[in-house]
Structure 1
Amino acid sequence: MPENRPLGERTNFLLSQLGFHTAARFTERLADLGIHPSHFGLLMHLSQGEGRTQQQLAEALGIHRKVMVGLLDDLEQRGLAERRRHPADRRAHAIFLTDAARTLLPDAQARADAEEEDLLTGLDSAERRQLLGLLQRLAERTGNPRGVHPGLRRHPGR
């Protein structure tokens, strides 16, 4: 018979509880910037390498191409990304951040940092490093690519 442990003593429950909590709070923190966490994730990836095609971004992030098109449409409508003809392939579009995105991103990153700081209050720097290392190891074991949130696979609002 399986061990009858309370939910508060189950790692999977606690991780889910904390994930839900921090995701909801981060969504609230970004709301007045007019973006969702999935937009933030894509903007962060774009900031690390502009000029990739929609297809390259979709493959790198493990996102279906239709979801990528929807996310990029949202960012374009918000004036945060632009599609330009790819210089080597006229059929493809290269994706770039706009000046508005470059202005917005530091504020969004500061909000992400504040959410992380709030979540980790009470842990000293050694405990934070240990927790980060353990979570990275677990994420790797589950096949999650580093720095890619599985929530990106869904279009915001769905």
Structure 2
Amino acid sequence: MTDPRFPPLSDQPAFLLGQLGAYTSGRFGELLAPLDIGPRHFGMLRLLREHDGQTQQQLGETLGIHRNVMVGLVDELEKRQLVARRRHPTDRRAHAVYLLPAARDVLTRAQETVRRLEAELFAELDTDERATLQRLLQRTAASNGLRPGIHPGLTHDRMRPC
């Protein structure tokens, strides 16, 4: 007999979100591996696509991450020859970060990976169900103070493996 105080985990939305989140994160990492980037790199490259040429400090503030985390992330992308640091044109103390042409190709391929992953994850849902799920998740994220388009994994001071 099931104790009603302890419903099955498969009936608890928070567990299901965690389960799907862990699966999605791992699967996304697997799919990005051939591009020699991880999810954190993808997030940073997406941000740079919209804010190319901003200083490391500005990018860190946008993401809400410590400057040491930002430096490490930019270092990794620089080693992969996806971004370049250059002196900021108006502030000689600051470095601006720019996407290199290779990054634009990687981003295009990574975005296709996102589309494939979403098709895989939501294959059982029709178009209306997907739209409803998206609206509900956006509303839930907003009501919990999550910033649109910023993965909370990027905001931690410690570097996690990509």
The one-letter code sitting in structure 1 at the alignment partner of 2:126 is D
> Residues 67-86 of structure 1: CA distance to partner in whole angstroms, max 9, x if unpaired?
01100000000000111111
Contact 1:54–1:65 at 8 Å: present in 2 too? yes
After superposition, give the CA deviation of every residue in 1:93-124 in whole Å (9 maximum; x if it has no partner): 11110011011110011001111111011111
Which structure 1 segments of 5+ residues have no match?
Answer: none
Q: Percent identity?
A: 52
Q: How far apart, CA to CA, are the structure 2 residues paired with 1:138 and 1:48?
A: 25
Number of aligned pairs? 158
1:125 aligns with 2:132: no
Q: CA RMSD in A?
A: 1.5
Structure 2: stretches of 5+ with no match in the other structure:
none
Indicate if the aligned counterparts of 1:43 and 1:105 stay in contact, CA closer than 8 A. yes
Is 1:136 matched up with 2:135?
no
Structure 2 CA distance, aligned partners of 1:38 and 1:105?
13
Runs of 4+ with >4 A deviation = none
The letter of the residue matching 1:155 is M
Question: Which residue number corresponds to residue 32 of structure 2?
Answer: 30
Give the Å deviation of 1:32: 1.2
1:39 equivalent in alignment to 2:29: no
Q: Say whether residues 1:148 and 2:141 are aligned partners.
A: no
In the TM superposition, 1:54-65 aligns within 5 A as 54-65=56-67
2:116 to 114, 117, 135: 114
One of 77, 82, 91 as aligned partner of 2:93: 91
